[in-house]
Copies of this chain bind each other. A is one copy, B any other.
Amino acid sequence: ARPKVGYYYTGKSLSSKLSEEIKKLKVKDFKAIPAVVSDKSSVYDVIVALFVQDVGTIYIVSEGGILEGVVSRKDLLKIALGQVDIHKIPITVVMTRMPNIISTTPEESLLAAAQKLINHEIDSLPVVRPVTVEGRERLEVIGRVTKTTITKAFVELGADKLIQRGERP
């Protein structure tokens, strides 16, 4: 008997087609410009940078944009509450540092990056590429993927506007 043409595409099968489409999306086509500060900064400098750049998480980098640490609004709020002079505390004392930073790469799927955000309960992933500095393997920060990035992708999927992709502001 002839299969009922069209039926094949409904229900379960449509949803797996949608899933396949989503799996094709790559980090490199959605990543935003990273918000970074020097590892020479004080806690106060970083809080100012966080407000100026209007981000929830900022990356701490050494010369050449090498990823050294990550600090979130939550971390900074905790420190600001303490009886400490935030002008005097170096950010390197309070940041989450390598190798304990969850990151992503340009070629990773946006879905895998979104899963990392959920599984690790974090708001932001630095997009990195490996570089060799003085004979050591390091990671250079080249972008960021946040829950805002994923929310924008969801809106574009829903509005059927996933047409041209490129780096986002």
Among B18, B19, B123, B155, point to the contact of A111 (Cβ < 8 A).
Answer: B155
Contact with B along A148-162 (1 / 0, CB 8 A): 101111110111101
> B14 touching A21 by the CB < 8 A rule?
yes
Binds B, one of A60-68, A72-80, A93-101: A72-80
A interface with B by C-beta (< 8 Å): 5-6, 9, 14-19, 21-23, 47, 50-51, 54, 56, 73-74, 76-78, 80-81, 86, 111, 114-115, 117-118, 121, 123, 146-148, 150-155, 157-160, 162
Known contacts: A14-B21, A18-B21. The answer to whether A154 contacts B150 by CB under 8 A is yes
> B111 touching A159 by the CB < 8 A rule?
yes
> A78 touching B56 by the CB < 8 A rule?
no
Which residues of chain B have C-beta atoms less than 8 A from A18's C-beta?
A: 17-18, 21-22, 157, 160
The docked-state distance in angstroms from the alpha carbon of A35 to that of B121 is: 17
Q: How far is the CB of A119 from chain B (nearest CB, A)?
A: 9
Which residues of chain B have C-beta atoms less than 8 A from A78's C-beta?
A: 51
